[in-house]
């Protein structure tokens, strides 16, 4: 069955770096793009961007340009989200989601807490 399994919760300090993984199984990884979505505590869903799993080319929403980086390890069917120079406002749950226009399969979410 199709699954996206994300890495576990993270507790970081401001200024640190985090890398969240999203391992796909049950389908051909390069047949679908991978998207990332942020959900701050008690808030709605915010689209961060996507990565072309065939070419590795990332596209970022305006609010996520600069400190955020999407990457792939295609041989391991895994997508990554790296956030550099963490800020308190990065505290959120981050989801990966497979896309074929709509987001049909989602990871379970990775909770990131940024606190000094």
**Of the residues 59, 71, 82, 91, which one makes contact with other proteins according to CB under 8 A:** 59
Which is closer to other proteins, CB of 73 or CB of 104? 104
Query: Does 5 interact with other proteins (rule: CB under 8 A)?
Result: no
With contacts defined by CB under 8 A, name the span among 9-17, 21-29, 75-83, 101-109 that binds other proteins: 101-109
Distances from the Cα of 42 to the Cα of 26, 37, 39, 116, angstroms: 32, 14, 8, 21
Query: Does 8 interact with other proteins (rule: CB under 8 A)?
Result: no
With contacts defined by CB under 8 A, name the span among 15-23, 72-80, 83-91, 92-100 that binds other proteins: 92-100
Cα distance between residue 6 and residue 4, in whole Å:
7
Q: Binders of other proteins among 29-48, rule CB under 8 A?
A: 35, 37, 44-47
In the chain, the N- to C-terminal Cα span, in Å, equals 40
Interface with other proteins (CB under 8 A), residue total: 22
Binding site for other proteins (CB under 8 A): 35, 37, 44-47, 49-50, 59, 61-62, 95, 97, 99, 101-104, 106-109
């Amino acid at each position: 069955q199709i699954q996206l399994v994300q890495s576990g919760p993270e507790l970081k300090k401001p200024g640190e770096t985090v890398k969240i993984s999203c391992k796909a199984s049950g389908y051909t990884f390069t047949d679908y793009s991978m998207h990332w979505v942020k959900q701050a505590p008690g808030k709605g869903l915010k689209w961060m961007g996507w990565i072309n799993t065939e070419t590795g080319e990332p596209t970022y929403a305006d609010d996520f340009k600069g400190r955020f980086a999407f990457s792939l390890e295609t041989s391991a069917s895994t997508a990554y989200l790296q956030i550099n120079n963490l800020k308190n406002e990065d505290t959120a749950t981050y989801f990966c989601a497979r896309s074929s226009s709509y987001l049909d399969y989602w990871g379970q979410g990775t909770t990131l807490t940024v606190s000094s």
